[in-house]
Each structure stands twice: as C-alpha cells, then as structure tokens.
Amino acid sequence: MVHDHTDNNAQMFNQGGGGGGHWEIEEEISLEVQGRHGGSWAASAVAEVEEECLYVGVGKSETSMEALSWTLKHLITSSSTMVYLIHVFPEIKHIPNPLGIGMIPKNQVSAEQIESFEAQERAKRRQLLSKFLQLCSSSQVKVDTILIESDTVAKAILELNAILDIQNLVIGTNKSRKSKSRKGNNGTAEQILQNVPERCRVRIICEGKEVNQQMLTMMSSPSPLVATPNSNDRNDNHQIQTPMPMKEDQDHNQNGSVSCNCFKPMFK
C-alpha cells in the first residue's frame, strides 16, 4: 500500500519550495484530493467517506509501533474506523557517489542514476511500512498510508492537518532527553501541540502510555542542578546526607505510573 509508480493506494504529498511552498499530490486514484497550485488545498473528502478517521505518525523509531498498537487498542470504535499511517521522509538532495566515495548532489548525476536511487528508497519505505500495515491487517482494521516528502516533520504534519482537517492524531515519543534540537527549538511533538487547531485531538504516546501536555513539558525541560552541601553545613545541621534518588524515581513520584524523562519524535 505504499505509493510508487505501480501502486496507487497511498496518498503521496510532495511539499515544494524547500519546505515553504505549495503542496502537490503526485498521483492519487483511490483517494482524490483536489487543490490549486499556489494556494491552499481544499479539505479532502476522505473524512466524509469514513465514519471515523485516525491518523498515526510512523517512522523508523520503535515508538511508532507503540503508538500504532496503542491506537488499535484504545481508539478503534467500530469496523468502519479508518487508520491512516503518516510517514514523513526527507527530500532527496544527494545520492551515493557512483565512484563509491561519499554522497554528491543529485544535480551532478544522470536522471537514470537518480531514478535508480529513488527506487531503492521506495523499496525501503515499503519494507518499513509493511510491519505497520501487517499489524492493522491482523487487527482487522482498515488502513491506508500517507507519504509526505519534507525535511521538517512538524510543519509537514501541520500542513497536512490544514488539508485534511484531521480530528484525531497519534504520535509516539521515547524517553531519551532529546526532545529539543541542537538549536534549542522545541521537539516535533511540542511544535504540533502548540500549533495544531483546537478541533484536532493530539495524543502523545510514551512507552505505551498516553502523556499529557504538562508531562510533555516537564519531560522536555532540563533537569535542575542539585547543589551539594559542604562539610560545614553537614556539621552544623547534624544531618546525614542521603544519596539523591534516581531520575526515574523522581519522575515516578511526580507523575504517578508514567516515568518518561523526555521524548524524541518517531518520524523519518
């Protein structure tokens, strides 16, 4: 169900203009979405066809499978519920050097070499998405895929939301403290939560559990520095200094059963 030149069941979105341009749909037969070049795309009729639509972000991270599993367990309300797997993959700007050394800009190679590399990437996407499709199939849930070519995951999903008027979105995260980029920007999940329309219900799944926005903010905040008392303080107070508890224990005490330290989005 992954879109390529021979399979038309998936929706393929190509974000033009280096992440800030219009959206183009390469090829779509089973699900039609109409739009205008240079303008906003009209809302898809997809949501009108199905009784309920759920959108789940999927990628290489194992958190994607956790998010989908959670969705299938908690959000499927009837046999008519439709699950759409959103996969954002980066724009191809470089391809392997034909000489076998490093990568080179794709404008320096032939069209045949570019097509060969793109075919390899499509095959990798099919293999990646097959496990998610298989899980939905084994759960007897209808599923389709939406592929977006973009270098900015959060922006791609937000613009997709504007096109399809998404009501239910599920994103997986992990507990590593990498929710913020090296430039100090908010992570993907936070960007989506801060900018998504109110009518869209976003669920963030960490280690198989749903986390709310307050917990997400706590997880993405740096840990405060703990001051170590000097020997004079210990002598004056006649207190025995006990070791600080582990971060996992602190989070458990503060947040109940959820002990996620931080998150990293699952896309790509």
Question: Does residue 185 have a pLDDT over 90?
Answer: no
* Cα gap 96→114, rounded to integer Å: 10
| 161 domain-assigned | yes
Domain count, the chain: 1
| 62 domain-assigned | yes
| 229 domain-assigned | no
What pTM, to 2 d.p., does this model score? Answer: 0.65
Higher pLDDT, 113 or 256: 113
CA dist 229 → 226, 232, 238, 241 (Å): 9, 8, 12, 9
Question: Does residue 264 have a pLDDT over 50?
Answer: no
- Scored b (16 or more CB within 10 A) or e, 28-65 reads beebebebeeeeebeebebbeeeeebbbbbbbebebbe
| 132 domain-assigned | yes
Tokens of 110: 């032939």
How high is the pLDDT of residue 10? 55
* Cα gap 63→175, rounded to integer Å: 10
Mean pLDDT on 201-218: 81
Model confidence at 99, pLDDT cuts 50, 70, 90, reads: confident
> HSE-up of 53 (CA within 13 Å, CB side)?
20
| 264 domain-assigned | no
Higher pLDDT, 233 or 150: 150
| 49 domain-assigned | yes
| 6 domain-assigned | no
| Chain segment 2-47, per-residue pLDDT in tens | 333 334 445 555 444 444 333 333 333 233 333 323 333 333 334 4
Range of the domain at 151: 11-223+240-255
How high is the pLDDT of residue 213? 66
Question: Does residue 149 have a pLDDT over 60?
Answer: yes
| 3 domain-assigned | no
How high is the pLDDT of residue 111? 94
H or E, element range at 117: helix 111-138
Strand, coil or helix: 233: helix
CATH number at residue 71: 3.40.50.620
